[in-house]
Copies of this chain bind each other. A is one copy, B any other.
Amino acid sequence: MKKIDLNSDLGEGFGKYKLGNDEEMMKYITSANIACGFHAGDPLIMERSVKLAIKHGVAIGAHPGFPDLMGFGRREIKVTTEEVRDYVIYQVGALLAFVRTLGGNMQHVKPHGALYNIACQDYKIAHAIARAVYDVDKELILVGLSNSQILKAGRKVGLKVASEAFADRTYMQDGSLLPRNVKGAVLDNVEQILDRALEIVEKGTITTVNGSKIEVEADTICVHSDTPKSVEITKKLKETLVRHGIKVERMSM
């Protein structure tokens, strides 16, 4: 029986600011990537998000990003490997304290935004992240784009890794994602997203921007939490997967 995890970025508000519908998303996903205060999230939101995940039986992951609230962690900052390493240790540690305080477990770490993109392409940065995660807790799963440098680095340092695929993002021919600021980067046609998700899970392929198919390995599919249709898409995605006999469960199962 085929299985897949559904992950989503949650806890991405800050102070008075809200983002997405975390409470609803938690009903359908199996893994939550919780912001840690650098690109989004603050201590109160982190505690609330961890509580919510525990309440819904959703596996918890840290979602560390660049220290750039103004840019929501989506702008590349030219950092050193030492900076990246320490930013990851700091953020994962901060979230871990809430998780343990509330009696939960941390399942995984998935870098956010520009840090994710760089880590998928730059082995040195990927390795710095992987080492940091391993040093904090070697049982953590490192999540990254299918076939990317971060998975290679994760395996190298001895971590379990999870390959991630996107049903609602446009893929380039080389398996990378079309950057978010390019028109057409994020899909919003529900049927198309469901079809792509099924293709990913059942056939292990995805159709790229120029119409050809490439192979993708997928332990988890990322669903966005911050678009108007997020909840609807996630609900239907889960139902569709289940209807096709696919088991939807956390990546660590």
Contacts and interface: CB of A to CB of B under 8 A. Distances in A.
Nearest to A87: B43
Contacts of A135: 101
A44 B83 contact: yes
Interface in A1-47: 13-17, 19, 37, 40, 42-44, 46-47
A158 interface: no
A21 to B, nearest CB: 15
Contacts of A67: 68, 70
A96 B135 CA distance: 12
Given A43-B83, A44-B82, 12 more contacts: A14-B17, A15-B72, A17-B19, A44-B83, A69-B69, A71-B79, A89-B98, A89-B101, A91-B94, A94-B97, A96-B97, A97-B136
B16 A16 contact: no
A22 B71 CA distance: 21
Nearest to A18: B17
A89 B16 contact: no
Contact of A37 (B42, B75, B90, B95): B90
A183 interface: no
A155 interface: no
Q: Which of A40, A42, A43, A67 has the most CB of B within 10 A?
A: A43
A141 B101 CA distance: 17
Interface in A49-92: 67-72, 75-79, 82-83, 86-87, 89-92
A104 interface: no
Given A77-B77, A93-B95, A42 B70 contact: yes
